[in-house]
Amino acid sequence: MTKIGSFLIFLSFILNAAIANAAGTTVNAVVDRNEMGLGDTFTVTVSAVSSEDVDIQEPRIPELDGFELLNTSSSTAVAQKLVPGPGGMQFETQRRKEYNYTLAPKRQGTLSVSSFEVVVSGKVFRTQPIIIKVGATGSGNGGGRRQMQQPRRPSMPQMPGMPGMGEDPFESMDRAEEEMFNQLLQQRQRLLQQMQQQGAGMPDEQFGPNSSSAIDNPAFRSLPTNPNDAFFIGVEVDKTEVYEGEQVTVNWYIYTRGQMETLDRLKFPDLRGFWKEIIEEVPSIQFYEANVGGIPWKKALLASHALFPIKAGTATIDSYKIKSRVRTLNQLGMMAKPYEYTKSSAAVPIKVKPLPVEGRPTDFSGAVGQFDVHSSVEGTSFPVNQPLSLKVRFEGAGNAKLIDLPAMTLPTGLEQYDTKSDSKFFKNGRSYKEFEILLIPRQEGDVVFPGLSVSMFDPKSGKYYTKKTEPINLKIINNPNAPVGSSQRMSGNQTPAAPKIIENKLPDVIMAWQPSHQASVMARPWLWMIIYAGVIISLLVKAQREFGWGRRRRTLKEQVSKRYKLVDQALSKDDYRKVGAEMTNIFYMVMGQVAGEAGASQKIEDLMTQIPPSLRRDHGDEITKTFEIFQTMTFAPEEMLGSIKEKATMKQNIDRAKKVISELISSKEEK
């Protein structure tokens, strides 16, 4: 009966763990050491990990009988764990909240840290008690070995394929999972080698050196130099000196000699001062072999961007920061215990030269690159008073999105009604921009639309050049559905009919007011005074609108409320990129005001150090977490966002952000 009861207890523990995992949330507690002496300290870390965005409340601290609570802290992280998937190793997003409690024992003996209670989205989780052994005298430095809590479990009889008597079954399961993970990686490596020997296309080719995003001869390249590094973030840039608007291609790579179990993108490059176009942002990391200085590494592309500097000066490609838990080989050639590391790529300054002023044509359209331009219409004859579509298309190497429509001189009888444009940037560095101009012919006859002359700048030669389109012949024909008298023939053998003159007549009420002699009206001085007064009042009203005379300056709260309206509009349209960008700007604006600096001039980490300590203590974690969420929504690839981009989740995160922003505004107004 004792064995059966022990087995039922163990089975119950397994079922409870399975239920918790099915819910996507796990809560546990660890200590950095469980054996010490009086005078030592140790830390209990209570962590809640979830694959969903859940509400995690601060743990309820149990009765600390025999211990003294010295300090508390907390941290939040969003990590991505590499797991096997149908297309290779893919990321599984995990959100972790940790609460740290520094304790000191008050007496010797075997003591117990009771269970912590954590409420996650209304559900209560309890950690297992932790046993602490306290000796006579400690080292006083609080050092030691970090261990997972080990709740007592019943022993089980040894069975084939099961752990032996007294062996921890969960530890055995962890070893089995680790062995399975290593076997999957080995199988994948063997498969790739076989495909390479057979000449088949490897799944990693698209991210390998032959990828369309690869840079042949980079002007800047950072490479790993220490073979003992767990991993390294490399950056490659094709040019370090360019003109305004000229393309700079930058690739970020990750190099590793171990097995990466998690990958947390702590900081995406801000890329301020550049117009950014995404060439590749990979949803799942795909490694291939790379030899650097005779040392074999596993290399994978993180992202590839085409950057176009906006203004002359120095624009910096800032760092890409990553945290990862990596297993490396030990001296015996076996995979060692995983450790967590944080690495950043090098920052690369780009010298941006201004476009030459000398020799700049008057019809320069803002196009920087090598472009062709064409104009076309569909058809040769068009009914009078019916719109026709003229298309002007720029296409070539460079960022065509920055091109403006050149000035046009329309022939007599054509009116411009509307203009719209479409543009796209391709991964090979080419792009196009097409303008569709709606024209309305007002007269019958033959019309020649003249060719367009457009000047552009070639950064390779450093000179301006001009492209011209061919003239287009249009035949405007009679439209039987057009109103009578709405068109005029333009034939050379006919004389246009004299237009019918319609007498301009004011309403009878006004006509009855008018004196019979116009000269007597104009001679009245009071009428001129009324006219002058109306003109002066109109000018004053316009000046008030332009210069804001008499207006009070908006408070920070009013400015933020105005920006919230833009957020609500983007939310209603499910535009998660717009929501992320607007909320990020609001954080910069408010943090900048509270710190006493312009929000856009400093990084959020620097602004955090300048706000009052009380705000950092009470709201620092929430500020960091919510800001990172919206920054991720703005820049992260769509495949990584998961439920973050869903409307309900966005609304929840916006409400959370509004609470902490309200606290920041209140602190500003109290000063």
For the ranges 48-57, 180-189, 250-259, 405-414, the maximum mean pLDDT occurs at: 250-259
- Greater confidence (6 vs 469) lies with 469
Question: CA distances (Å), 138 to each of 45, 100, 133, 470, in order?
Answer: 21, 21, 11, 90
As a whole-number percent, the residues of the chain with pLDDT over 90 amount to: 15
Segment 60-86 mean pLDDT: 76
Do the Cβ atoms of 476 and 445 come closer than 8 Å? yes
Please report whether residue 185 resides in a domain. no
Q: CATH number of the domain that 433 lies in?
A: 2.60.40.10
Number of domains observed in the structure of the chain: 4
* Three-state secondary structure call for residue 481: coil
Same domain, 661 and 625: yes
Do the Cβ atoms of 659 and 590 come closer than 8 Å? no
Look up the domain containing 319 and give its range.
Answer: 205-353
- Position 481 scores a pLDDT of 64
For the ranges 215-224, 346-355, 404-413, the maximum mean pLDDT occurs at: 346-355
Q: Is residue 498's pLDDT more than 50?
A: no
Same domain, 153 and 27: yes
Neighbours of 103 (CB within 10 A): 22
For the ranges 170-184, 244-258, 587-601, 637-651, the maximum mean pLDDT occurs at: 244-258
Do the Cβ atoms of 327 and 217 come closer than 8 Å? no
* Three-state secondary structure call for residue 292: strand
- Position 415 scores a pLDDT of 86
- Greater confidence (126 vs 669) lies with 126
- Greater confidence (499 vs 531) lies with 531
Burial label, 456 (beta-carbon count in 10 A; 0-12, 13-18, 19+): buried
Same domain, 8 and 141: yes
Neighbours of 363 (CB within 10 A): 14
83: alpha, beta or left? (left if phi > 0; alpha if psi -120 to 50): beta
Same domain, 369 and 427: yes
- Position 30 scores a pLDDT of 92
Same domain, 345 and 382: no
Q: Is residue 175's pLDDT more than 90?
A: no
Q: How far apart are CA 638 and CA 632, in angstroms?
A: 10
Same domain, 371 and 336: no
Please report whether residue 523 resides in a domain. no
Q: What is the dihedral sign for C-alpha 356, 357, 360, 363? A: positive
Same domain, 7 and 148: yes
pTM: 0.45
Please report whether residue 96 resides in a domain. yes
Q: Is residue 510's pLDDT more than 80?
A: no
- Position 553 scores a pLDDT of 55
* Average pLDDT for the chain: 75
Q: Among 477, 505, 524, give the residue marking a domain's end.
A: 477
Q: Is residue 411's pLDDT more than 80?
A: yes
Segment 208-213 mean pLDDT: 53
Same domain, 20 and 149: yes
Please report whether residue 59 resides in a domain. yes
- Position 75 scores a pLDDT of 77
Tokens of 141: 């430095």
